[in-house]
A and B are shown apart, each in its own frame.
Chain A
Amino acid sequence: MEILSPKRRDILLDDQNVQQIITKLKKSFYNSSDFVAKPISWWNGEIAILCFYSSIVKKTDVEKTLYFFKQNIRDTEMYWGESIYTSVLPLDEKQLGQLLCNGETVLVRLKTKEIILFNLPEIATKQTEEPVNEHVLQGSREGLVESFDTNVSLIRKRIRSPRLVVKERTIGAETKTTVYYFYMEDLVDTEALSIVEQRLGKIKVDIIYSIGQIADYLEDSVWSPFPQLLKTERIDRITASILEGKIAVVTDQSTTALIGPSTFFSFYQTPDDFNARVLVSSFYRILRLASFVLAIFLPAFYIAVVSFHFEILPLELSSQIKTDLNNIAYRPILEAFILEMTIELIREASIRLPTAVGQTIGIVGGLVIGDAIVNAGLVSNMMVIVVAFTAIASFVVPSMEMNSTVRFLRFPFMILASLFGFLGIALGAVILLIHLLNLTSLTRPYFSPIIPIAPKEIFKTLFRFPYFKPSRQAESFSPKEDKKL
């Protein structure tokens, strides 16, 4: 873009020349309607060109700063152009486009081939609000927003230490998304950090839509049903993880942060645990972990008992179930699938329902499923109870990702149970366990503290002891003397 280097020796430009330059500038920015290029007079009769994208610039503050400049600062001082918002750089036309896209206002001094940058962006963003998907009873109500400064300020105000480091990276050839990550300098797991940096560096795509793409690159095993990086919007969760030596990766395109390396049990912790009483929260934590087992195994167990091992049921229960099942035309597995699919459809639909209609559809769904489908003889009462119970148990997980994992994992178990009964469930359970034991999150064991076995850590996972101190995740599969905080 050789527009801004006029060939004439006479540097004092007259109006027409400036207009020519401006037209060519606008053309090079494709005549975008929010692109503004204006001539203003600088001191000593100099003409400078002010360029900015009017949609992402805080015009009033730029005006003030310009005024300030014009009144007070002279060319002759050394750092005359440097202040909080401004800096002076030599003119480089190739960078102009990127600078403008970042929300900076550029004042081009054709005479000295310098540009003055006014870094006063006003990028549209929303206020901090409580994350919709992660509710707690007590605790902070702040969540991430789609803005770098705000996010970093939210975290810095909770960790007021210079050892909290923020690093940035730009990814995506077209979108030039900023990806930034936080960690504590002396606490962080250095190997994991280097892996994160390595993997971020390997991302060579044009477009970054959302944090899910980055998660794909950062995860160890993309095909596993279990999420290996904890996704959260809550600030308190992010700060707690950082202080345990984990790394939080955020973009300014979505409000979700990725935290790694994470363990399976960290998906089952909520900030509520630490705000509530010791005994109460220990009980609820154990309940939550039990809900994992329940949500995966209950439908499979029911199908196995009803199809193969009905001898287990006590007499009174079995006569009741027999009466119910006599009226169903097909096997329990089909019955289970029909009902499960219905619940999944309702769940998917309810995410997209407009709030006005939501209540009504909820009632209709409840009536249809609960009452009519049983009366029509399509499914039995017991199956409705089992499926409803499973659904409730699976929503107990504090993390949405793990919720969908658990809901998905029911289906292979149901199929195994309908083929092989208890033996199928045993087989599936062992394979699931082995998979979990093998899984790594940024090369750290995912199922720690069960692998390697550390009984003290297991207690800490299950019970919430008072006077909480953070602890570190195990760094390797073999037992070593890990650093303690």
Chain B
Amino acid sequence: MNISLTRIQFFSLLFSIFTGFIYIAFQTSVISYGKRASWLMFIAISVLVFLLFIFYEKTYKYFILGKITSFIYVAYWLSHLALLVAYTIYVISTWMMPTTPNYVLLLMLLIPSLYASLSRPETAVNIGGIFSIFILVFIFFMLNASKDFVVGNLFPIRESGMNAWIWGSLHSFTAYANMECYLLLRRFVMKNKKVAGWPLFLFFWGMFLMYFFSIVVVMMYFSLEEFKLISEPILYLLHSQEVTFAKRLDLIFVFIWILISIITMINFILVIRIVRFKKQTKPLYKKIEIIFYHVLIFVVAYFLAIFEVIEMARKYYWISFFIFGVLLPVLIIIWNKVRGRTISDSSN
């Protein structure tokens, strides 16, 4: 299946895939391991990742998925998605609706995703543009807490030792965990649009600013010890804010977060569709396969929405960045470069 993307659509898809499920959660892992200098670590890591982006921009032509690699990636994406969906269900049932049974919440997430995935791919491409704007609402309200900020929490940076630097940096990579989607989607961008250089720079550093802002704000508001207790700092921050027109601000934000999660999920399924349905298979088989994936995610996520599983996932999430985001694509790129095959050669 072929889609054609403008730069704006490409970047908004990437933005939604990167920040979708992780935005409210990654601060805790970074800060609890990285301690006081976490924000510096994050900057350092982002520079590295930016270099990786530039590398991918130059070599995306060589990223071709054969049968085995497609299978690995699809399996990885499905399990990854199941974990993320389980996490979202966990957040919803903790913060908003403690009494609703898990399977109802799962249905709520999966039904729109199924509907969108059974429609044409352009629906999935464009739906992100509308709701990604809501993340800005998050930022605006986080600023509302500014009178409680303690800038001193960010210093001194010498307090973090070597151990903290290593682990903090490794966990910072979770913010960029879906790197391979860049390679995958890059070749669908319309040919005459330039992506390298200034647009990529703007996109990456804009995304970085969003992440960085959340880390800095959260560090200034909470003291270090509290991070051992809180797992979604942004939501907790909003929970403690008081505005005149609404008492529980975090409810509204969990509501917005649900919308964003559904859209991210639709985008993930889009990526899976792109990889799986390269050849023109019959529409009926495609539909059955998509329904099957959704049922699979439903079943797996239902059993994963437990506190222990989530905590374990938090500890080891950064590994997926390295294996599937860096190692495997680099291998594929080198393999294809040596053999001299590019995208235009193969039938993909």
Contacts and interface: CB of A to CB of B under 8 A. Distances in A.
Contact of A451 (B96, B108, B126): B126
Contacts of A421: 97
B258 interface: yes
B262 interface: yes
Given A434-B123, A450-B130, A426 B6 contact: no
A431 interface: yes
Interface in B221-252: 244-248, 251-252
Given A420-B108, A423-B105, A429-B259, A453 B245 contact: no
A452 B6 contact: yes
A445 B262 CA distance: 23
B123 A431 contact: no
B96 A422 contact: yes
Of the listed residues A430, A438, A450, the one surrounded by the most CB atoms of chain B closer than 10 A to its CB is A430
Contacts of A312: 246-248, 251-252
A311 B251 contact: yes
Interface string B276-301: 00000000000000000000000000
Contacts of A313: 246-247
Contact of A438 (B123, B254, B258): B123
Interface string A422-448: 111111011101110110000001000
Interface in B1-54: 3-6, 8-9, 12
Contact of B123 (A318, A425, A427, A437): A437
Q: Majority SS of interface residues in chain B?
A: helix
A430 B124 CA distance: 12
B12 A423 contact: no
A452 B246 contact: no
A452 B255 contact: no
A427 B97 CA distance: 15
A315 interface: yes
A221 B5 CA distance: 26
Contacts of B86: none
B325 interface: no
B262 A451 contact: no
Interface in B254-285: 254-255, 258-259, 262-263
Given A430-B112, A430-B259, A455-B8, A450 B248 contact: no
Contact of A434 (B12, B104, B112, B254): B112
A423 B126 contact: no
A339 to B, nearest CB: 24
Nearest to B252: A312
Interface in A223-255: none
- Using C-beta atoms within 8 Å of the partner chain, give the interface range for chain A: 20 to 34
Interface in B107-135: 108, 111-112, 115-116, 119-120, 122-123, 125-127, 129-130
A151 B92 CA distance: 59
B96 A438 contact: no
A91 B245 CA distance: 82
B343 interface: no
A309 interface: yes
Contacts of A427: 108, 111-112
A375 interface: no
B251 A430 contact: no
A430 B262 contact: yes
Nearest to A419: B104
Interface string B79-92: 00000000000001
B189 to A, nearest CB: 10
Interface string A351-369: 0000000000000000000
A156 to B, nearest CB: 39
B190 interface: yes
A433 B255 CA distance: 16
Contacts of B104: 420
Given A422-B96, A427-B111, A453 B9 contact: yes
Given A431-B112, A438-B123, A479-B5, A426 B105 contact: no
A477 interface: yes
Nearest to B128: A453
Contacts of A433: 127, 130
A83 interface: no
A466 interface: no
B246 A314 contact: yes
A479 B4 contact: yes
A131 B8 CA distance: 42
A478 interface: yes
Given A423-B96, A430-B262, A453 B123 contact: no
Contacts of B8: 453, 455
Contacts of B247: 311-315, 318
Given A430-B259, A431-B112, A453-B6, A479 B123 contact: no
A391 to B, nearest CB: 23
Interface string A466-479: 00000000000111
A53 B112 CA distance: 61
A450 B244 CA distance: 34
A311 B97 CA distance: 12
B116 A451 contact: no
A431 B96 contact: no
Contact of A453 (B3, B12, B96, B258): B12
Contacts of B263: 430
Contacts of B127: 433-434, 437
A452 B122 contact: yes
B259 A426 contact: yes
Contacts of B255: 422-423, 425-426
Given A433-B127, A451-B122, A452-B122, 19 more contacts: A308-B97, A309-B251, A311-B247, A314-B245, A420-B104, A422-B258, A426-B255, A429-B259, A430-B262, A431-B112, A434-B115, A434-B116, A452-B9, A452-B126, A477-B120, A477-B122, A478-B4, A479-B4, A479-B9
Cβ-closest 6 pairs across A and B: A477-B122, A430-B112, A451-B126, A478-B4, A437-B123, A311-B248
21 contacts: A314-B245, A420-B104, A421-B97, A422-B255, A423-B100, A426-B258, A427-B108, A427-B111, A427-B112, A437-B119, A438-B119, A450-B129, A451-B123, A452-B122, A453-B9, A455-B8, A477-B120, A477-B122, A479-B4, A479-B9, A479-B190
Interface of B: 3-6, 8-9, 12, 92, 96-97, 100, 104-105, 108, 111-112, 115-116, 119-120, 122-123, 125-127, 129-130, 190, 244-248, 251-252, 254-255, 258-259, 262-263
